[in-house]
Structure 1
Amino acid sequence: MNWPSAIKGFQAYLKLERSLSLNSIEAYTRDIQRLYEFAEIQPTKLTAECVTLTDLRQFIVWINELGMIPSSQARILSGIKAFYKYMLMEDLIKIDPSELLEAPKITRKLPDTLSYEDINKLINAIDLSKPDGPRNKAIMETLYGCGLRVSELTELKLSNLYLEIEFIKVTGKGNKERLVPIGGAAVKALKIWIDEVRVHVPIKKGEEDYVFLNRRGSRLSRVYIFMLIKKLAEQVGLKKTISPHTFRHSFATHLVEGGADLRAVQEMLGHESITTTEIYTHLDREYLKGTIIQFHPRN
């Protein structure tokens, strides 16, 4: 089987059987395209079903020489393992060459966070007299108030807002839905945007249910959210490099610091595994020290 056919079948499998989002499918496809590039430059070109464990180990050396960091290498190898799992399931191969393939060891980097004061500075820097001011404030309040991923924010729908009971329904990774509590500040900002400003926006057909729209009535892009945050950080003189994900990290960190149950934080973030959420327990050493002093029987 040639590579384009194998990749096309893999994409169909990811979409239909694993119900992955378009972004996830594109990421997996890029990973396999890397392997395809490697296969094409070999003295004897490798077809998708002829790749061996030795070939994959040489591929790792190749991407390492390209300057790819260990975390990126690990992500690519995860995509390759998923690809060959698909090939095995479809009986396109008899042996999975990636089964014994080891990912590079990576250090777990603690995410950057903002203090509550910094978040207030960023939100207060929004000019509410401008037409997009109320919308941008609602964006920032929702990002921090609910700990959403940027794609979850841009895909948020009016039909999934239950502001009267302070909950929103979010569609996360793998199209999994979850209910997330939303606080008073975010509810107030959303109501102002929806009831007082959004009603005057001429909405493009098919976009009627999306919460956050641009002035042309189309849903906002993820790039816009990144640019908005970057601009606000420059305005307040914040030296940290921040992104929408920084607000998600800050949301989780502040909850854990405040004594929130880790399982509850896991549910709100939509993490599949509690080990992913546990990283937030490492972010504030003073918080941990205080917890030990307060609760350990020998103290």
Structure 2
Amino acid sequence: MPAESIGSVLGEFLTHLKRRNISSNTLNAYRKDLALFFESLGYKNFEAEFEPGKIGPDSFRVYFTRLGAVAEQSSRTLSRRASTLRQFFKFLYRTERSAEDLSLYISSPKFVRKPPKSLNEQQVEKLFDDLIVPGDTSFEKIRNRAILELFYSSGLRLGELSALKRENVDLEQRWVQVLGKGGKVRGVPLTGKAASAMEEYLSTCEKLKAKASGKFESLFCKEDGTVFSRRGIARMVKQALLNVDGRPDISPHALRHTFATHLYRRGIDLRSLQELLGHSKISTTQIYTAVDPDWLKEQHKKFSRR
């Protein structure tokens, strides 16, 4: 096989993954993981010649030791990086770029799953308070409340929510059609409060359409009709969560976790929760069965005799 650059091999690998409907965010994560790995081997850029014969089990041991000790990365992050390398080296073996399947030498660190960050019932109530909902104008307040209500009532991923179009929402049936990971389509019901907030927002958009320069093609837009970007939605949700939670490391994904955690505690079965969240494996959904210590204390206090 003729000499290839690292960049060309990585490009072909990522193209291979893209054909499997891997999301752009996941592809970017793979690209960064592999760049970090090749940097640890001494490669300065992707234009260097790719030499798989110089990579062996010791390369992986040194790489993960450095990541764990120097970068102090969590075992969860290390596990993801190991998965990236396994897929990459399996690809090299299958495309006959490597004489040996080096993925067999890559093992994932064990880690204990912790309950994901989420809000309690009182914080959720506070989240929709007029003083908490971010926004400098009446339109922004109405739109942002609709986003927060939809986010919490549906458990969508940030990317799924930001990609929604008007036709994906059926307020009469209280139903949202979502395009999830891997191009899978699923339906998610809306709560009454979420439907009401969405109805107020969409009614406001209709009144603005005549004078707005944009086309209001996305579900969530700015006041001029142009798209309210994923990044803009993330910043707004992050600010709202900070207003009620205060943890600087809390992310918009916490609303999805809150949705799932509250449904599980109210008795929903795991299979239904898996369907609502769009998980391909029920093992992913099982993280919500981990009991939060504060909630456990509340339940003990509520039901204990003394």
Q: For 1:111-150, what aligned pairs fall within 5 Å after superposition? A: 111-124=116-129, 125-126=132-133, 130-150=138-158
Gapped regions of structure 2 (runs ≥ 5): none
Letter in 2 for 1:14: L
Q: Partners of 2:35 and 2:269 in 1: how far apart?
A: 42
- Alpha-carbon distance change, 99 to 108 in structure 1, aligned in 2, over 3 angstroms: same
TM-score between both structures, scaled by the size of structure 2: 0.84
Structure 1 range deviating more: 215-224 or 115-124: 215-224
Task: Work out the percentage of aligned pairs sharing the same amino acid.
Answer: 31
State the 4+ residue runs in structure 1 displaced beyond 6 angstroms: 286-290
Encode CA deviations 1:227-286: one digit per residue, 9 max, x unaligned. Answer: 2234334545x3334322111111111111111111101100111221221221223436
Corresponding residue for residue 281 of structure 1: 289
Q: Partners of 1:216 and 1:72 in 2: how far apart?
A: 40
Contact kept in structure 1, 2:208 and 2:223, CA below 8 Å: no
Q: For 1:148-227, what aligned pairs fall within 5 Å after superposition? A: 148-197=156-205, 199-200=207-208, 202=212, 204=214, 208-227=216-235
- SS of alignment partner, residue 104 of structure 1: coil
- Alpha-carbon distance change, 158 to 55 in structure 1, aligned in 2, over 3 angstroms: same
TM-score between both structures, scaled by the size of structure 1: 0.85
Q: Partners of 1:91 and 1:218 in 2: how far apart?
A: 48
Q: Partners of 2:92 and 2:213 in 1: how far apart?
A: 44
- Alpha-carbon distance change, 218 to 74 in structure 1, aligned in 2, over 3 angstroms: farther
Q: Does 2:100 correspond to 1:95?
A: yes
Q: How many residues align?
A: 286
Corresponding residue for residue 72 of structure 1: 77
- Alpha-carbon distance change, 119 to 277 in structure 1, aligned in 2, over 3 angstroms: same
Gapped regions of structure 1 (runs ≥ 5): 294-299
Encode CA deviations 1:106-135: one digit per residue, 9 max, x unaligned. Answer: 221211221222112111132786221111
Q: Does 2:17 correspond to 1:9?
A: no
- Alpha-carbon distance change, 94 to 256 in structure 1, aligned in 2, over 3 angstroms: same
- Alpha-carbon distance change, 19 to 288 in structure 1, aligned in 2, over 3 angstroms: farther
Contact kept in structure 2, 1:167 and 1:182, CA below 8 Å: yes
Corresponding residue for residue 239 of structure 1: 246
Q: Partners of 1:3 and 1:122 in 2: how far apart?
A: 48
Corresponding residue for residue 61 of structure 1: 65
Structure 1 range deviating more: 94-103 or 58-67: 58-67
1:21 aligned to which of 18, 23, 28: 23
Corresponding residue for residue 297 of structure 1: none
- SS of alignment partner, residue 12 of structure 1: helix
TM-fit CA distance, 1:204 = 4.1
What root-mean-square deviation, in Å, do the aligned CA atoms of Structure 1 and Structure 2 show?
Answer: 2.7
- SS of alignment partner, residue 172 of structure 2: helix
Q: For 1:29-44, what aligned pairs fall within 5 Å after superposition? A: 29-40=31-42
TM-fit CA distance, 1:103 = 1.3
- Alpha-carbon distance change, 288 to 234 in structure 1, aligned in 2, over 3 angstroms: closer
